[in-house]
Structure 1
Amino acid sequence: MDSVTIAGVDCGTNSIRLMVAEVDARGMHVVMPRMLRIIRLGQGVDRYRRFAEDALQRAYAAVREFADVLGRQHVDGIRFVATSATRDASNRSEFEDAVESILGVRPEVIPGSEEAALSFLGATATLGESQLPGQQSATGQQTDPAYMVVDLGGGSTEIVVGGDGVDIPAQTVRAGFSMNIGSVRMTERHLLSDPPTQTQIERATADIDAHIDEAFTHVPAQDVSTIIGVSGTVTTMSAIAMGCETYDRNAVDGATIGFDSIFEADGRVLRMSREERGALGAIHPGRIDVVGGGALIWTRVLKRVAAAAATRGTHIDSFLSSEHGLLDGIVLDYGRRMLAGQI
C-alpha cells in the first residue's frame, strides 16, 4: 500500500472540522476542501461540567452532514478526535454513543498532551522548502528553530516547543503543555459584559497569566526563535491585523504578522461590543461573541514568550500565521500509522 485516504474530524469546544486527504511517503495531499461548522459544543461546560442539550443537537447536525459527505467519498480510514470540552463533560458518553451511531466511528477523547503533539505535527509538517531552518519564508518570516506552535482553541490552548535543529531535530517535539484556557472558556468565565469592562479584562488577564506561568514550567519558552500560531482565533485576528475586509484563507495562511499590528487588533476587538465585532467581515458569525477572549489570550501568550526569549538574547517581534494544525496532524499521523501497518 503506497498511499491511504484518510478522513479526519477535529471536534473542539467551538467548532468541528472535517478534512479528507491522501497520505503517502511524500506527505499529505488534500482530496476535498475542509469543512468547518461552528457548533459551540462547549457551551456552559466550564461552569456546569456537562454538555447542554442544544449544544449536542448542533454537534449531531454537523456530524450528520459530515457523514453524508463521506458517504460519497472513498476513504480508507476515519479518525474522529474530540478535545477540551469533551474531556471536561460528565455526559460525554452520550455524545460518543451518538457520534458512533451516526458516523460509524467512536470519538477519541485525547488528552491535552496528545492534542499539543498533533498540532505541532500539523503545523510544522506543512512548512515548505522555503521555510526550512535558517531560511526565509515566502512572506519574509525567519523560521529558525526552536519552533513554538500555539493552538488557541475554544476550551484549551496548547503550546509546544520543538528541537533546536542541532541536537534535537526541529520538527521533533521537545516539550508541550495544554492550558485549560480558550476563547469560549475565558468569555464565559470573565468577559460577561457587552463590551467587557476593564475589571473583567484585568481578571481574565490574571487568569491567563497564571496558566502561562504554569505552562512555562513545562516548556522552554526562553529557547523559542519562531512562533507559529494556529486555530480560528489566531487566523481570524491575523486577518483583522492585515486589514482584510472578509476572511481570506490564502492571504492569512503563512503570513508574517508583526506584534505591533496584532496587539492593536487584539486590543481593539477585545473592547468592541458584539454589534461592532459583527460588522467586521473577517470574523465568522459563530466567533463574534467569543473572539475577544481569544484575542486577549493571544496577546498575553505572544508577550510572555517574547519576554522569555529576550532573557536568552533572542528578539521576537512577529509570528507566522498558519491554517494548519490539529486537523492536519490528525490525518497525517493516522495515515502514517496505517501505512506502517500499525492500524
Structure 2
Amino acid sequence: MTGPSDEPRAAAREPCGPEGLRDGAEDRDKSGDRPKAVSSGPAHGAPGGRGKAAEGGSNAAARRRRQGKHPAYGALDLGTNNCRLLVARPSRRGFVVIDAFSRIIRLGEGVSHSGRLSDVAMDRTIRALMVCRDKMQRRGVERSRLISTEACRIAENSDEFIARVHDYTGLELEIVSQETEARLAVSGCASLLDPACDGALIFDIGGGSSELIWLDLSERSHNWRASVYDRLEAQNCISAWTSLPVGVVTLAEKFGGCHVTPDIYEAMVADVSRQLETFEKANGLREKVANGNSHLLGTSGTVTTIAGIKLDLPAYDRKRVDGCWLKSGEVREVSKLLVGMTFEQRVAQPCVGADRADLVLAGCAILEAIMRLWPCERLRVADRGLREGMLATMMAEDGFRDTRRRRKRRRASSNPSHSPD
C-alpha cells in the first residue's frame, strides 16, 4: 500500500472487475435466506452515518490513540449496481487504505420500470452491508460516511429500505444529491488530473446515473499535490456539471445487455447522445475541448474494464490500471472488440466476467457518446471516486494535513528566501 488510495494487495489477485477485494464466504452465498435483523439498536455498535464514531471496535481505537496512531475512517458508496467500502488512515501523502470491499448487488435492478426497490435486491444489498459493517468494526473505524445514490434517489420505497438497513445492520445511510455526488467524484480523482492541462472533463458512468463535470483548471491557486486539502480545492475549479438519468443498468434494461448487435449498440449511443445535447448547448464544451489543452478523466467500471482489456491483463490489476492513459482510438478498438463478442465470450473475458457481461456494452455506449460529442485524444483512467472523495473530506474536516507541506512551510518561515509553491 504505497499510494494515497491504493487498495490492499489482495485486490490484484481478483480474477475480474475493477474493484478487487471481496469477502469470499459472503460472495459464495447464493441462498435466498433473508438477513436476520438485530434485536435492538445498532448492530454491535456498528459505525453509523456521517460523522458518527463506531462503538464497536472502540477498545482498539482507544489503544491506537494511546499509541499515537491516526484514527481509521470508513467510506461506503452504495450505488445502483455496486456496494463499495474503503477503510483508511491519514498519512503523509493523504491517506493509506487498510481495508476494502466491493460487491455487485444490483440494488436498482428493475427500478427504472417499477419505481421500487425489490425485496430480493434489498436483501442482497443488506447481506453485503453486513460485511461492510463487520469490516469497519474489526478495523476500529471512528468516523464514517455511508452514502447511497441514484437507485435510492428515485425509488419510491427508499425510506423503507433505509429503515430496513438500520434495523438489520445498525448502519445509517445518507441519500446524497446529484451535485454532492459530482463534487465527491472530483475530489476522489483530483490527484490524477494532468497539471499541464487547462481543462478536464470528468465523467462517472454509474449504474443508474452518469455524472459529467467540466473543470476549468486555470482556477487552481497553486500546483496540486496529493493532500486531502488539494483534493477538496479541486471542487473550486468546477465550471459546469450535470447528472444524466442513465447508467449501465438502466441502459441495459432498456435495450438489452446480453445479446447486443452493432445496430442495438448504435441505438444505445444515439439515445445517450440525445441526453447529452442539453448540457453541451448550455456550456459549449465542444469548442473548449477542441481549442484548449484538455483531457478526459473517467472514474467508472466501464473505463477500468476497457483499460484492463487493452493492457491484456490475465487478471484485473488495479496498480496497472489506475492512472493509466488511453488514446481515443484504443478505447474504440476495445469497444468494437466487445461488440463483436457473444455474451459467453464476454463472460470468459477476465476483466469482464459473469457479473458485468450484460452491462459492459451499455457502459461502452455511454462512453462512445461522450467521446463523439467532445472529441479528445487522451483519456485518463481512475479506479477511484466517491469513496476517496468522502475520505478526503472527513480527514480535512478533522484537520489532517499533508505533513510534507507543513514541513516545507516551516522551512519557508525560517528562511525568507525560500518560497513554497
Indicate the residue corresponding to 1:42 in structure 2. 108
Offset at residue 220 of structure 1 (A): 5.0
* Corresponding residue of 2:381: 321
Q: Using the TM superposition, give the Cα deviation of residue 132 of structure 1 relative to its aligned residue in structure 2, in angstroms.
A: 5.2
Say which of 332, 339, 342 aligns to 2:392: 332
TM-score (norm 1): 0.85
Q: Percent identity?
A: 28
Q: Give the CA deviation at 1:5.
A: 2.8
Cα 1:78–1:272 shift into 2, 3 Å: same
- Greater Cα shift, 46-55 or 241-250: 241-250
CA separation of 1:217 and 1:87: change in aligned 2, threshold 3 A: farther
RMSD: 2.3
TM-score between both structures, scaled by the size of structure 2? 0.70
How do 1:177-196 and structure 2 match up within 5 A?
Answer: 177-191=242-256, 194-196=258-260
- Equivalent residue in structure 2 for 1:174, among 234, 239, 245: 239
User: How many Å apart are 1:203 and its aligned residue?
Assistant: 2.7
Match of 2:409 in 1: none
1:257-336 correspondence to structure 2 within 5 Å? 257-306=326-375, 316-336=376-396
Q: Deviations over 1:247-282 (max 9, x none)?
A: 111111111111111101112213432211011011
Q: Could you tell me which of 158, 161, 168 is aligned with 1:92?
A: 158
Looking at structure 1, the residues matched to 284 and 212 of structure 2 have their Cα atoms a distance apart, in angstroms, of 10
Q: What residue number does 1:246 align with?
A: 315
1:73: how far off? 1.3
Matched, 1:149 2:202: yes
How big is the shift at 1:284?
Answer: 4.1
> Given the alignment, which residue of 263, 278, 302 partners 1:214?
278
Correspondence for 1:114 among 180, 185, 194? 180
Query: Quick check: 1:191–1:201 contact (8 Å CA) kept in 2?
Result: no
SS in 1 for 2:171: coil
Change (3 A) 1:41 1:201: same
Unaligned runs of 5+ in 2: 1-64, 225-233, 401-421
Runs of 4+ aligned residues of structure 1 deviating over 6 Å after TM superposition are: 167-170
How far apart are 1:7 and its partner, in Å? 0.2
Measure, in 2, the Cα distance between the counterparts of 1:67 and 1:54. Answer: 20
CA distance in 2, matches of 1:202, 1:253: 28
Distance 1:161 1:168 in 2: 17
Q: Per the alignment, in what secondary structure is the counterpart of residue 241 of structure 2?
A: strand
Aligned twin of 2:300: 231
The alpha carbon displacement at 1:103 in A equals: 4.1
Residue type of the alignment partner of 1:290: L
Counterpart AA for 1:243: D
Question: For 1:71, what is the secondary structure of its paired residue?
Answer: helix
1:43 alignment partner AA:
E
Residues 1:332 and 1:189: Cα distance change in structure 2 (over 3 Å): same
Say if 2:149 is the partner of 1:83.
Answer: yes
Deviations 1:171-230 (A, max 9, x none): 2222211111111111001135x4223443233222100111122245552334021111
Q: 1:208 to 1:231 in 2, by over 3 A?
A: same
Q: Secondary structure of the residue that 1:276 maps to in structure 2?
A: helix
Deviates more, 1:162-171 or 1:33-42: 162-171
Q: Aligned-pair distance for 1:63?
A: 0.3
CA change 1:55–1:113 in 2 (3 A) is same
Secondary structure of the residue that 2:180 maps to in structure 1?
A: helix
Change in 2 beyond 3 A, CA 1:221/1:277: same
Deviations 1:224-250 (A, max 9, x none): 402111111110111112222321111
Partners of 1:253 and 1:269 lie apart in 2 by 21
CA distance in 2, matches of 1:204, 1:100: 38
From 146, 170, 176, the equivalent of 1:104 is: 170
Structure-2 separation of matches of 1:166 and 1:113: 20
* 3-state DSSP of counterpart to 2:156: coil
Pair member with larger Rg: 2
Separation in structure 2 between the aligned mates of residue 219 and residue 176 of structure 1, nearest angstrom = 9
Distance in 1 separating the partners of 2:93 and 2:399: 12
Q: CA deviation at 1:57?
A: 1.1
Contact 1:145 1:164 in 2 (8 A): yes
* Structure 1 stretch displaced more, 78-87 or 331-340: 331-340
Which residues of 2 match residues 156-171 of structure 1 at below 5 A?
156-166=209-219, 171=234
C-alpha deviation, 1:111, in angstroms: 1.5
Change (3 A) 1:210 1:278: same
Structure 1 distance, partners of 2:395, 2:219, is 28
Give 2:352's aligned amino acid: I
Partner of residue 133, structure 2: 67
Match of 2:73 in 1: 6
* CA 154–54 in structure 1, closer or farther in 2 if over 3 Å, else same: same
Give the Cα–Cα distance (whole angstroms) in 1 for the partners of residues 250 and 102 of structure 2: 20
Cα distance between partner residues in 1 of 2:221 and 2:245: 28
Q: Secondary structure at the match of 1:50?
A: coil
